[in-house]
Structure 1
């Protein structure tokens, strides 16, 4: 039954299936999932479980890992490929001792940790992930850069000034007009030109 729910959730949430790797991360933190769970839903499940009192170290570790993945451009050649990496665990332990950082992490939503900041797709659409201006992000980012010797964030997280293109609908009207007899098509074209 849960598998059916996950399949429906993927469609309703416009989600994509979580990878086996992501499901493995959830399992590492003791979060059960089906093979049909969507990525957003899985991140919500993991975050919801780790945000519970008493799991601050795990919450800080998941957050640290996600910031690390952002800073390394989610590279498959980055040194740390799993939250269990000793350097990430060390950073997370330090962060979990800071109540301000933990409170800041708890303000995120699970799906915010898929990526951080804003980025513009090749099609010109702007997407927004979790904030990269919070106390938690700044603390984790600073610790990660120091520990791993990283110099700069990935280009994906940089803010783009390019606004998404807005469709005006004229192309569709013109295409429709071209299918009509010449006199009607010309009248529609003239009307569009007058309104523009």
Structure 2
């Protein structure tokens, strides 16, 4: 996966830091980087770094942002790619946002996050130390108006079985989104798309 990601305007950038001399291999893979960029309709970028023999510090090889396109190897200026185009959030983005909301909730409760990840194909999404003083896990699902509650996955039992070696304490978290531009004027009103960078209302009532 990526080592760093950020959004500027309507564009997403996923960064993998690489040793320009090929001596050090960081975690994750280039394929993983390209996969998440494609599924999020974002840009897969590399950040080539070189270590100074004298100071031991690392610095970017490229000028400016130091980024290059992971496919073309051409330099990238993120600001030049930002536009006024309205881009709908991908399923991955919505799920990742839901995970962030649940993660913040757990932290506000005073619990310690062990790990979290935003891949919608991987369960559970979060591990934390809760009231049990041991590991607990959370399966996160997101949904969008007109639905106001996400359903537990049909694979719930297999998820429990897979997690049982570490913990038998699991939770479910439903996070529902609706655009702030939704009018709520008709009962059968079509959902307003969730646009990248635009406001949303959130319905999340805690862990179940």
Normalising by the residue count of structure 2, what TM-score does the alignment of the two structures yield? 0.29
Higher Cα Rg, which structure = 1
Larger helix fraction of residues: 1
Normalising by the residue count of structure 1, what TM-score does the alignment of the two structures yield? 0.30
Larger strand fraction of residues: 2
